[in-house]
């Protein structure tokens, strides 16, 4: 179901105490509203504690930042989708550009992660071009290939569970945000590709988030675009006043 969502990806930041304090601050300064779903993606080891803290708030949910592509086994240091679900987390970010570049995750591995996660968790699947692809004007081809290679094998029923995050790599953590015109153009392209593959109903119902230096100053303009359903927020999710102001930007 298409929803307005603000998801905060803490990456490798916050001790448990700092994370719990940040959640307290967000809760005390954001009104209970079912209109916007707020998702917090802390490091794995904080998932259970933060899911427990948010369990009474239906407008909040918890996500992992990654999961392994296999069910279980001898994979030291890895975490499975089933383990994540057992903490109370309901979402998982898959295909973040930092995983693609630092951990060498390919569309093939990412498609396996989606397959293993989809029964237990809602994937927030990240796609987006790098600066060279944008400058060469091949960004739409890149995005089409990411969709096709990692997601378009899914049945319509399973694809209907996916949230997409369009995150141009050149905008992540750089302070350079896509203009609302650029972001809306790509979101519309993504929706059109989904329409071609799965039809109008599924494309109209897919939640597509924007990520990449989204902040309290630019969120309102981005979120007012017709195909942008909210944001996946990195740096600005680490401070309560910033993330609450982004949440209030709808
Ligand atoms: C991200 O890492 O998904 C992200 C959008 O980061 P930032 O908001 O810091 O650009």
pLDDT band at 1 (very low <50, low <70, confident <90, very high): confident
Q: Where does the pLDDT of residue 29 fall: very low under 50, low under 70, confident under 90, or very high at 90 and above? A: confident
- The answer, yes or no, to whether residue 72 has pLDDT greater than 80, is yes
What is the pLDDT, as a whole number, of residue 183?
98
Q: 93 phi and psi, to 5 degrees? A: -80, 130
Longest dimension (CA), the chain: 48
Q: pLDDT tens for residues 199-210?
A: 999 999 999 999
**Structural domain count, the chain:** 1
Distant-in-sequence contacts of 32-35, Cβ < 8 A, 24+ apart: 32/57, 32/59, 33/59, 34/58, 34/59, 35/4, 35/250
The pLDDT, as a whole number, for residue 30 is 80
Residue 34 clears pLDDT 80, i.e. is over it: no
How much is the average pLDDT of 163-190? 97
User: Over the stretch 102-119, which tens digit does the pLDDT of each residue have?
Assistant: 999 999 999 999 999 999
State the residue range of the domain holding 83. Answer: 4-247
Ligand 1 atom index nearest CA of 214: 8
pLDDT band at 31 (very low <50, low <70, confident <90, very high): confident
For residue 233, report the distance from its CA to the centre of ligand 1, in Å.
Answer: 5
SS3 state at 86: helix
CATH code at 17?
3.20.20.70
CA of 246 to the centre of ligand 1 (A): 13
211 lines ligand 1 (CB under 6 A): yes
What is the pLDDT at residue 223?
98
* Cβ neighbours, 10 Å, residue 233: 28
Helix (H, G, I), strand (E, B) or coil at 56: coil
- Average pLDDT taken over every residue of the chain: 97
pTM: 0.98
Q: How far is the CA of 198 from the centre of ligand 1 (A)?
A: 29
Q: Given pLDDT bands bounded at 50, 70 and 90, which one contains residue 155? A: very high
């Amino acid at each position: 179901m298409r929803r307005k969502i603000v998801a905060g990806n803490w990456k490798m930041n916050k001790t448990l105490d700092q994370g719990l304090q940040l959640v307290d601050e967000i809760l005390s300064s954001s009104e209970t509203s079912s209109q916007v779903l707020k998702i917090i993606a802390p490091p794995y080891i904080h998932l259970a504690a933060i899911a427990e803290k948010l369990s009474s708030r239906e407008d909040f949910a918890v996500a992992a930042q990654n999961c392994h592509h296999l069910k279980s086994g001898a994979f030291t240091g890895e975490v499975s989708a089933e383990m994540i679900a057992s903490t109370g987390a309901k979402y998982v970010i898959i295909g973040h550009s930092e995983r693609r570049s630092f951990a060498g995750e390919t569309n093939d591995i990412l498609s396996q992660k989606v397959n293993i996660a989809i029964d237990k968790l809602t994937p927030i699947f990240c796609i987006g071009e790098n600066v060279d692809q944008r400058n060469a004007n091949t960004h739409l081809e890149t995005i089409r290939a990411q969709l096709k290679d990692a997601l378009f094998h899914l049945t319509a029923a399973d694809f209907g569970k996916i949230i997409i995050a369009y995150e141009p790599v050149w905008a992540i953590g750089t302070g350079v945000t896509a203009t609302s015109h650029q972001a809306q153009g790509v979101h519309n392209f993504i929706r059109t590709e989904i329409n071609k593959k799965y039809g109008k109903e599924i494309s109209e119902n897919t939640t597509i988030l924007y990520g990449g230096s989204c902040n309290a100053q630019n969120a309102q303009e981005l979120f007012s675009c017709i195909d942008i359903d909210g944001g996946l927020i990195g740096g600005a999710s680490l401070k309560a006043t910033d993330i609450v102001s982004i949440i209030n930007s709808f």
